[in-house]
A and B are shown apart, each in its own frame.
Chain A
Amino acid sequence: AQSVTQLGSHVSVSEGALVLLRCNYSSSVPPYLFWYVQYPNQGLQLLLKYTSAATLVKGINGFEAEFKKSETSFHLTKPSAHMSDAAEYFCAVSLNTGGFKTIFGAGTRLFVKA
C-alpha cells in the first residue's frame, strides 16, 4: 500500500532563509506526488505535482520539488521564505489504480520568523 512520511511536524525558518520540507513516499508502482498548502480554517490548495514528466517540478509562490526515485523522496523547497508562507504543508501520493484516491502525510507546519 502507498504511504507518505513527512519528516518534522514543525519547521521554523527566518524570513529570507531557505525552506526545506521533507517528504518520503512508499509505493509499489510509479506514483503521482503532490504538495498542498493549507491556511487556517481553509481547504487545501495545490502547490505543485509530479506526474512522471520532469523530475524537478516548479509550483506556485516560488516553491519547487524534486522527485528522486532512488531515495523515494519528494522534498519541497523555496529559496527565500516570506512571512506569507507560514502555513501547513502536506505531501500526498496518488495511484492511478483502484480508487484514484490521494493519501496525505501528517503535515508540516512552517513558521517564518521576522
Chain B
Amino acid sequence: DTGVSQDPRHKITKRGQNVTFRCDPISEHNRLYWYRQTLGQGPEFLTYFQNEAQLEKSRLLSDRFSAERPKGSFSTLEIQRTEQGDSAMYLCASSPSGTGTEAFFGQGTRLTVV
C-alpha cells in the first residue's frame, strides 16, 4: 500500500492556460474525492466518484472544471482557462466501501496561476 499519490506536486501556469492533475488512489478503494484548499481554510469538497461514476459535484465546480475516473482507477482533474482565483492546493482522497470509513489523503497539488 503506497497511499494516495498525486502528480504533479506543484504547478505554475499562466492565466488562461489549461492544467490537468492526476490522482492514483489506494488500489482497493472504490471511492475517490477531490477537494480544494486555500490558505487558512479547510478543504472544500469538489466532486466524488464511486468507481467510475461521478456521483456528486459541488457548486464550486464551475464549467471550467472537469473530472474523470476512467475504469474506476486513477482520476484526473482538469481546469480550463485558469484564473488567478484557481490558485489553491488541490487534494485527492480515497476511501473503501462501508460506513464511517475515513478518507485517506494524498499530499496535494499546489497550483499557482500567474
Residues of A within 8 A of B (CB): 9, 32, 34, 36, 41-46, 49, 51-52, 90, 92, 94, 96, 98-107
B contact residues, total (Cβ < 8 Å):
27
- Using known A-B contacts A101-B56, A106-B41, A107-B41, determine if residue A52 contacts B100 with beta carbons closer than 8 Å: yes
Q: Is the CB of A43 within 8 A of B107?
A: yes
Tell which of A34, A41, A99 touches B56, judged by Cβ atoms closer than 8 Å.
A99
Do residues A99 and B107 form an inter-chain contact, with CB atoms below 8 A?
Answer: no
How many whole Å from B93's CB to the nearest CB in chain A? 8
Binds A, one of B42-50, B62-70, B74-82: B42-50
Interfacial chain B residues near A41, Cβ < 8 Å? 107-108, 110
Contact A99 B100 (CB under 8 A): no
Contact B108 A32 (CB under 8 A): no
Binary CB contact string for chain B from 25 to 52 against chain A (1 if under 8 A, 0 otherwise): 0000001010100001111110010000
